[in-house]
Structure 1
Amino acid sequence: MQTAAWTRYLSRSWLCRRAWPGCSRHYRAVLCSELKQPLAIEEVAPRPVGPHEVRVDVHFSGVNFADILVCRGQYQEKPRLPFIPGVEFSGIVLETGRDVHTVKEGDRVIGLRRLNCMAGECIIDHKALWQIPEGISLREAAVLPASYSTAILALEHRARTQPGETVLVTAAAGATGLAVIDVVTNVLQAKVIAAAGSEEKCKLAMQKGAQFSVNYSQGSLKEALGKLVGSRGVDVAIDTVGGDVFLEALRSLAWEGRIVVVGFAGGTIASVPANLLLLKNISAMGIFGVRYQGQNFPVFSRALSSAIQYCLEGRIHPYIGAVFKLEEGREPRFWEQPVDPSRHQYGAASLSVTQPMEHRKGKVSPGI
């Protein structure tokens, strides 16, 4: 059994045990010991890396709505307690296993995994790392793995979005929503209608490239879309809200339109009326980006590699709404965010996890 399999979920005693002989370094981590309760910041003892693993000095860890849900016990996947939340990070390679040849000590990297990223260090399989080119900051890079890979997979791989088509994105001012707007507008050369729950959100989405916006807290989304596109409808809908918003988006699709389900931030999972799929030859599909790592790694790798390349070329510009210190991860206000990010969350957020210099080992890059 590979090391990655048995290290996915770590017991509290394992996390906090004494480091291996000769090593006295510890690192800080956000620890969830009880669901729906404030998290803790604890000193964690490192472990040796396996032959195919890499130890990374984490500088930034993305904060996603899924992280909040998993700490509440409301996510699709429920890890065993205690656990370190966080699915994406950027940082500097500290150490590599004996069979790792893809990265070396001192390289700047980003990574994506199920858990364990909100910590000063992260041990990860070398295949789950991508190098960050010069010209992209660690802060920017940290929010690429989850939101932008999901946006690219949803738009390019699932919906097959074409230039000139009209794309509706719900929860448009959230991390994934803004990533979708960025990719649609600046890469795919299609048109965007942004749907969000406030005028402020709609304004932000327009500033980031949407051609039109709809505030669905003020009335019917379907009626508002009808005024914008007429009876034809939209070609593609990317929905992260669920519930009635999903159903109205579904009913607003054009002939042979495509709707991609990214999540259920509104808290309600809608049932799909199959007759609507039949009448307009509509396709309804889902995207769970992290699963592609295990089920179809080449597709996922292409999506994230594309995000890195688009960012390097200046075609996309990740919007980071907030950067928190690691210590803020234990404050109730940080995790007690409203259930519906489509109405309250602005863009991507990240934790600044950089350790004091004396705690580090290996080369350190200033490229933040």
Structure 2
Amino acid sequence: MRIWHGFKVSNHLTPCHIWKNNMRAYRVNEFNIAPTIALVDMASPKRGEVAVEIHACGLNFADLLLLSGRYQDTPALPFTPGLELAGVIQAIGPDVDGLAIGDRVAVFSGQGGLAEAGVFPADRVARIPDEMSFVDAAAFQIAYGTGLVALDHCARLQPEETLLVTGAAGGVGLTAVEIGKRMGARVIAHARGAEKLAVAQAAGADHLIDASEDLRQAVKDLGGADVVYDAIGGEVWKAAFRATNPGGRLLPIGFAGGEVPQIPANHLLVKNLSVIGFYFGGYLKSHPLVVRGAIERLIGWYKDGSLRPHVSHVLPLDQTDAALELLRSRKATGKVVITLRA
């Protein structure tokens, strides 16, 4: 190990390998204009930061919102999207404890994942086990972390309760199916088409509802839902809301259908319903110990074979446009991951 400009750097990489202007990144220069792959300057890690050689970056629906400036945490232009990544720590800034150069890690980056390297706050970094591939790790934190914290900490899902998951073959929906089943719930999966429903069934869903069906009636025929985990919004939310049992809890996780639902407060009162907002990035700031505990628990489930991320597409950085289109057109199931290293 050597010291370079005040911070530790790996012996087997020269400083220019990470920080010289030779790192490719997928750059958003203007909103609603196609991003470009460009060479960018890579900053040195400052106090409380680490530099990571990025091997894989998981894509999320939020990345599409970032490209248009509609995400709640959209950074100033220009920027590199990519909310979660996996790689190897190559340098450490001052006042970083518990991490070492060479550690294999997953990072909830918020931005910067679609690049060959980056500098990130150390408190966003989690070690990953040797048996976890970089592709799996890049597909892990947001989808599984959202599912477990939302269902366990927020909604208090109980064994034998009925969980309805909409968009059940998508990145966050599919993990909610897995986690709900792992927690002992009866899981109803809602998705479009036989192929996506089969993916949800393989993840543990007990009942399947195609998007072409009357969602409200189909759920009521199954006894109603105690907890709703909705990633679609719009008319799907309205139908799920009306099919929720008295005393039920609803989680509006996302609005992939494009319409943010309005919630009739009078119906909440009559049926004693609870609508619980949850945003993973926000919880990292307000409840970091809850998130850290959830990630540790999830990694334990991964190690014992209880969880296996479903990644439908793995593409290189120069095919990021095509990868994002898979999300936009809803042709992907589970996660789409971009690889940065061979």
The 2-side partners of 1:129 and 1:77 are apart by 19
> 1:113 is matched with which residue?
109
Please state whether the residue corresponding to 2:280 is helix, strand or coil. Answer: coil
After the TM superposition, which residues 1-368 of structure 1 pair with which residues of structure 2 at under 5 Å, given as runs? Answer: 24=20, 26-185=22-181, 187-216=182-211, 218-229=212-223, 233-329=224-320, 331=321, 333-337=322-326, 339=328, 341=330, 344-354=331-341
Residue identity in the other structure for 1:98? P
Q: CA deviation at 1:24?
A: 4.0
> AA paired with 2:34?
P
TM-score when scaled to structure 1? 0.85
**Amino acid corresponding to residue 207 of structure 2 in structure 1:** F
The structure showing larger relative contact order (alpha-carbon pairs under 8 Å, at least 6 residues apart) is 1
The answer to whether the Cα contact below 8 Å between 1:112 and 1:129 also exists between their aligned partners in 2 is yes
Bigger mean CA deviation after superposition, 71-80 or 86-95:
71-80
Q: Hey, what's the Cα distance between the residues in 1 that align with 2:34 and 2:221?
A: 46
Question: Could you give the per-residue CA deviations for residues 37-89 of structure 1, whole angstroms, max 9, x where no partner exists?
Answer: 22211112222211211001110100111101210223233322111001100
Deviation digits for residues 135-165 of structure 1 (CA, Å, limit 9, x no counterpart): 2222111111111100011100111001111
Offset at residue 339 of structure 1 (A): 4.5
* Residues 192 and 31 of structure 1, relative CA distance in 2, 3 Å threshold: same
Distance 1:23 1:228 in 2: 57
Give yes or no for contact 1:267–1:340 (8 Å, CA) kept in 2.
no
Aligned-residue CA RMSD (Å): 1.8
CA offset digits 1:221-278 (Å, max 9, x no partner): 001112222xxx1111000111111111111111211111101110001111112211
Contact 2:64 2:328 in 1 (8 A): no
Residue identity opposite 2:43 in structure 1:
R
Q: Distance in 1 between matches of 2:64 and 2:49?
A: 27
* SS of equivalent residue, structure 1 residue 259: strand
For 1:31 and 1:169, locate their aligned partners in 2 and report how far apart those are by CA, in whole Å: 34
Aligned to 2:7: none
> Which amino acid in the other structure matches residue 304 of structure 1?
I
Secondary structure of residue in 1 paired with 2:80: coil
**Alignment coverage as a number of residue pairs:** 327
* TM-score with structure 2 setting the length: 0.91
Identity over aligned pairs, percent: 32
Specify whether residues 23 and 129 from structure 1 end up closer, same or farther in structure 2 by C-alpha distance, changes over 3 A only: closer
Contiguous gaps of at least 5 residues in structure 2 = 1-14
Following superposition, the deviation at residue 340 of structure 1 comes to 6.4
